[in-house]
Amino acid sequence: PARPAPPAQRPHPTPGRSRTDTPENRSAPQIQLIPASAAGALDAADEAVDLLLDSGRAPGDILVLTTGEQHPWAAHELTFGEAAYWAQHEAGDDVFFAGAEAADRLRTRPVVIVAVNGGDTVADVLTGARERAGALLIVCGDPQRINAVLGAAV
C-alpha cells in the first residue's frame, strides 16, 4: 500500500539551529502539560507536533509516545514490518511515533510528546519519557492524573 505523508513532511520552515540540547549538555527537560481527555490526547499530541514544526523544530528532534492505543501513523508504518519501522527510528530524520511498550528501544530526542490516551502504565511511561526528553517533555492528557505522577514538576 502507498504510504501517506507523515505530519512531519508537511511544509514547515526549517531555520538552522545549534544542537545544544543533546543529552551530554542538558539538565532536566522543561515539562509542558496540555490538558486533554484520553480520547483527545492523540489530537493534542498531533497539534503539538505541528506547532513545534511550525516554530522551526527539526522533525527528527521529536518523539511521540502513546500510553494506550498506538498512534495511527505508527500502526500504519508497522504494516510494512518491524525492521522498516525501526529503521525509521534509527535514521532519526523524521518525527517518530511509538507505543509505550517500545520504550526500551527508543533513543533520547530533544522533544518527547506523550499522549496519555489510556493504559495502565502511565507512571512508567512518563518516567521513561522524562529520561528520553533532551530539552522538552510535552504531556497531553488529564492534568490530575499527570500531576499525580509528575508531582510539582508540571
Q: How far apart are CA 113 and CA 48, in angstroms?
A: 8
Residue identified by cell 499530541 is 45
**Confidence band, pLDDT 50/70/90 cuts, at residue 16:** very low
Whether residue 98 has pLDDT greater than 50: yes
Q: How far apart are CA 40 and CA 22, in angstroms?
A: 31
All three cell numbers of 76, joined, read 500504519
**Confidence band, pLDDT 50/70/90 cuts, at residue 6:** low
Which one has a higher pLDDT value, 66 or 11? 66
Cα angle: 110, vertex 9, 42; to 5 degrees: 65
Q: Which residues contact 108 (CB under 8 A, 6 or more apart)?
A: 23, 131, 132, 133, 134
Residue identified by cell 514490518 is 81
3-state DSSP call for residue 3?
A: coil
**Confidence band, pLDDT 50/70/90 cuts, at residue 7:** low
pLDDT digits 0-9 by tens, 81-90: 999 999 999 9
Structural class in CATH, domain 33-150: alpha beta
pLDDT digits 0-9 by tens, 21-45: 444 445 789 999 999 999 999 999 9
End-to-end CA distance of the chain: 41
Q: How far is CA 140 from the centre of its chain?
A: 10
Alpha helices per DSSP H over 57-110? 72-78, 82-91
Q: Is the whole model's pTM more than 0.85, yes or no?
A: no
Q: How far apart are CA 65 and CA 80, in angstroms?
A: 19
